Amino acid sequence: MPSSLRIGLIGSRGQLGQELVRRFSEPDLSSGVDLQALDRPSFDITDPASLAGLAGAKLDVVINTSAYNAVDAAETAVRECFELNAFAPLFLARACRDAGTALLHVSTDYVMSGGIHEEEQIPYPEEAPTRPLSVYGLSKATGERLVMEAWDRAWIVRTCGLYGGSGSGQKGGNFVTTMIRLAREGKPLRVVSDQRVGPTAARDLAHGIARMVTEPLPYGLWHLTNGGHVSWYEFAEKIFALTRLSPELTPIPLAAYRPVAPRSPFSVLSNEKAHRAGIVLPSLESALEEFLGRNGLIPS
């Protein structure tokens, strides 16, 4: 790592952004990293003037965590979704190229859909062809492609089912905090049991991303999730076992949940490439326990 790595972080107040700020402030990194938050209103990724400003910022790396994340709303807000998830990353990648700044762009498991991987329960490696089912997935897959075409000093990091302290601003929380809130409200819960995912703690992803940009790892496509996979129903069971909440919990098929945006029944990402590079995030069980414990959600 250079004596001080200058990093610009787009979306520092978001679920992942907050964990990146925390990670880069930790003693082993803080003296070697000069972190600059790139947030609205002074920095808007869709504003050409903000992107033009990167030329004079003398950054080594830009990390882009911004996204149009409202998966169901995206089905009817196609232009807005593509503007933030596809075109803005393209213009950002070009601005980074012109400034000689490396770019780390965050993407999603929604670029994948079941097929042979679902039938055989094989997590997707990075080289698996994308086949998004939803507008959100299509916009993110397009964004990945445009970034990679525009700038060869880019990492694309795909992850899944993020949960962090404050939850996603746009989604109004995350799966873990939503389950706990609804259980405390005494609501009966119907949770999808035939969709397999790899939920990931934003804190662990932030650790992986920090290593990727500081070591640095080779540019290109990377999958980074906590280890293992579950159905959302199984994940809810784990949450309630640890928090000792006992809501009325019923498994339902994805078809009965009928989300506005189609979901893949299997979108588990393989972490093999990251493992070979020495980045191994904790298992999803220990990540969940750590998150709940740190937030005072495990009764003593």
Residues that bind ligand NAP (CB under 6 A): 10-11, 13-17, 39-40, 44-46, 65-67, 69, 84, 106, 108, 159-162, 168-170
CB of 3 to ligand NAP, least distance (A): 29
CB of 84 to ligand NAP, least distance (A): 6
Query: Which tokens is 278 given?
Result: 């020495």
Q: Which is nearer to ligand NAP, 5 or 156 (CB)?
A: 156
d(CA 32, CA 295): 29
Q: Which is nearer to ligand NAP, 18 or 193 (CB)?
A: 18
Tell which residue, 217, 195, 193, 16, has the closest CA to residue 112.
195
Contacts of residue 136, Cβ cutoff 8 Å, sequence gap at least 6: 68, 69, 70, 71, 74, 81, 85, 108, 110, 261
Number of DSSP helices (H) and strands (E) in the chain, helices first: 13, 12
CB atoms within 10 A of CB 29: 17
CB of 68 to ligand NAP, least distance (A): 7
d(CA 104, CA 214): 12
Active-site entry in 68, 110, 124, 136: 136
Q: Which is nearer to ligand NAP, 84 or 133 (CB)?
A: 84
- Is 136 designated active site? yes
d(CA 47, CA 63): 17
d(CA 66, CA 77): 17
Q: Which is nearer to ligand NAP, 65 or 271 (CB)?
A: 65
Residues with catalytic annotation?
136
